Structure 1
């Protein structure tokens, strides 16, 4: 898979290193000379260019990329790169970094963004996930919010504690994908009984989240 990353700062270089380790081809693009640190990620291709300029993106051959990642520290730049990648070059998958939460609403398909990654939102979700019991925590959104990855830690007085997975009347448009119990990760086998303290991971439609929380938490009943 060929991936172009706009923004060769710490974030862009870290993403590039991970993708290269997984066997992908990576092109790093940045308009700042000081950001071109080829020795830091020698396996990547490097291009000194303004990723907001159509001619520069043509030089980068974005039409040959499977994925474009807009990873600069400027939300306006990330939106422009995403829009150009999608509309001018037909890139199948565009991922964009959101730097400021107030701009998150713009990072959608109208701007060519398939997946937006908001660092502040992820950090707050991880904090909530670490300290919340009985409350549904949204960890990640897929495809413009059509489905979310959500987590809930079962409290001791949850009505489904002791019930086998197959015997729970799960809401439609939800899927239990994993159960984390202590140091172990369990597949949600039909006959596996649920225990208090289990961390349940679901992929769920946004409109089903409240229903799911009501099912799992006694204080929501």
Structure 2
């Protein structure tokens, strides 16, 4: 997979290092010469250019990329990069970093964004997930808000301990996709039993999240 990352700051370089380790082709686009440091991710292709300029993106070969990640520290730049990637270069997947949560509403398909990642929201969700037992925690928004990745940890006194997954009556637009148990990642099957302390990961529309809570409040 060929991935272009706009912004070679700490965030962009970290993403690039992870993708390079996964044997993907990575191109970092940076307009600030002070942050143009190819030695920090020497397996990536580096381009000194303004990612908001159409000609620069065309010259860099953005049309050959499968994914574009707008990872700068400026939300306006990330929106422009996303829009150009989607409308001018028909990039299949555009991921954008949201720096200011107040701007999150802008990061939609109208601006070419397929997935918006709000760092403050993700960090808050991680903190909430670490201390929340029995409640439903939103970890990630998918498909411009059409669905969410949400997590629930079963408390020690859960009435669901020992009960099979098939007994859980989830609403139509929700799916239990993973059970995290100790160091294991379990793809749930109908006959698998639930245990206290299980971390349950669901993909669900926001509208049915209350019904997921209700499903685990009773048997």
Task: State the TM-score bracket (shorter-chain normalisation).
Answer: over 0.9
For 1:122-201, list aligned pairs within 5 A.
122-201=122-201
Please give the per-residue CA displacement for 1:155-206, whole angstroms capped at 9, x wherever unaligned: 2444433321112222212111111223333221222221222111111121
Q: Distance in 2 between matches of 1:63 and 1:187?
A: 36
Corresponding residue for 1:216? 216
The answer to whether the 8 Å contact 1:161/1:195 transfers is: yes
Deviation at residue 82 of structure 1 after TM alignment: 0.4
Q: Distance in 2 between matches of 1:27 and 1:197?
A: 42
Report how many aligned residue pairs link the two structures: 219
Deviation at residue 130 of structure 1 after TM alignment: 0.6
Name structure 2 gaps, 5 residues minimum: none
Normalising by structure 2, we get a TM-score of 0.95
Please give the per-residue CA displacement for 1:57-87, whole angstroms capped at 9, x wherever unaligned: 1111111111111000000000000001111
Deviation at residue 51 of structure 1 after TM alignment: 0.7
For 1:60-79, list aligned pairs within 5 A.
60-79=60-79
- Aligned partner of residue 81 in structure 1, secondary structure: helix
Corresponding residue for 2:41? 41
Q: Distance in 2 between matches of 1:69 and 1:184?
A: 31
After TM superposition, the structure 1 stretch with the greater mean CA deviation from structure 2, 195-204 or 118-127, is: 195-204
Is 1:116 the equivalent of 2:116? yes
- Aligned partner of residue 128 in structure 1, secondary structure: helix
Normalising by structure 1, we get a TM-score of 0.94
The answer to whether the 8 Å contact 1:152/1:201 transfers is: yes
Q: Distance in 1 between matches of 2:18 and 2:149?
A: 22
Q: Distance in 2 between matches of 1:24 and 1:186?
A: 27
- Aligned partner of residue 50 in structure 1, secondary structure: coil
- Aligned partner of residue 39 in structure 2, secondary structure: helix
The Cα RMSD (Å) is 1.4
Q: Distance in 2 between matches of 1:182 and 1:46?
A: 41
